[in-house]
Amino acid sequence: MIYGLLAGITWAIETIVIGIALSMAPFIQDQEAIILAPFVSTFLHDLISAIWVTLYNIFKKNEHGVLKAMSSKNGWFVSLAAIIGGPIGMTGYVMAVKYMGSSIGAVASAIFPAIGTVLAHYFLKERIQWYRWLFLLATMIGIYGLSYSPNVKISNFGLGIVGTLMCSFGWGIEVVILAKCMKDSDNAVKDEIALQIRQTTSAIIYGVVIIPMIHGWRFTIGLFSTPANKAIFVIAIASFFATVSYLSYYKAISQIGASKAMALDVTYAAWSVIFTIIFLHDFTLLKPITIICTVIVIGCSILAAVDFRDLI
């Protein structure tokens, strides 16, 4: 459960940092940049994250296991999950952050545990006790309350909702596939190795398919020039926190299951509001309804991950 909470905390930090990157000049300089920003930033985000996790696995001496897993059936399914959660889910997440703001984008996309929990119940046969459903529902209500907090600037509600749907369904489906591959009794894929496959596959799909399709390579290469490369540095910081979050999240999935891991990970919705207030000094979010809903999200998310029979 600590891994699940750490995943939420570090993803909230990532949310703040990627929001800063998307507000920098290269991504808002003209209409073309605004359109390309969610796709290019996600490509760079996953590419740099793949580098971070590769260095981690080299340090852990896991590289032989990575090559072995990539040629296995479960390794291929992890790659499929990467496509669903990366190019589809991550693009949707960045769109939600860009068009609805970092705090609101985070809480809006946080509905993915509800979708993932239903899928885990039917496809992974994870037993979800009735009180955990109630706590999850309370969490969703808290998220709803956060998403409608006053004085929040939403630049494009329609595109923000599209991004939210892409993110929630993409991540919900992805986590079920990953849980199956990491808990399979035959040739299970280790969580650290699964993450490297996931991030590498996502970066390749972006670089080979999506970026050329939207004619984004010229803009992407231009980001490495001075002074635009400051945005690259910020994205690298965001991807570092994302990598820590993913490693923690995958560890939680492998140890306590998909539904419980998602319930804990979704606390990033509340942490992002807290960190927005603390680090960005956005005191417009410091309203009674925001405080109440933040407490509800954190508290009920934790309770939604608890099987009280384990405490007896």
Ordered DSSP codes for 193-235:
HHHHHHHHHHHHHIIIIIHHHTT-HHHHHHTTSTTTHHHHHHH
Is this model's pTM higher than 0.95 or not? no
Is residue 12 pLDDT above 80, yes or no?
Answer: yes
Is residue 150 pLDDT above 60, yes or no?
Answer: no
Mean pLDDT within 34-44:
88
Q: What are the φ and ψ backbone dihedral angles of 224, each rounded to 5 degrees?
A: -85, -5
Distance CA 259, CA 170 (A): 15
pLDDT-derived band at 147, boundaries 50, 70, 90: low
From 104-108, 201-205, 251-255, 303-307, the region with the lowest mean pLDDT? 104-108
Mean pLDDT score of the chain, rounded to an integer? Answer: 86
Share of the chain above pLDDT 70, in %: 92
Sequence-distant (6+) residues with CB within 8 A of 130 are none
| Cα 92-147-245 angle, rounded to 5 deg | 55
pLDDT-derived band at 306, boundaries 50, 70, 90: confident
pLDDT of residue 68: 85
Is residue 40 pLDDT above 60, yes or no?
Answer: yes
pLDDT of residue 123: 85
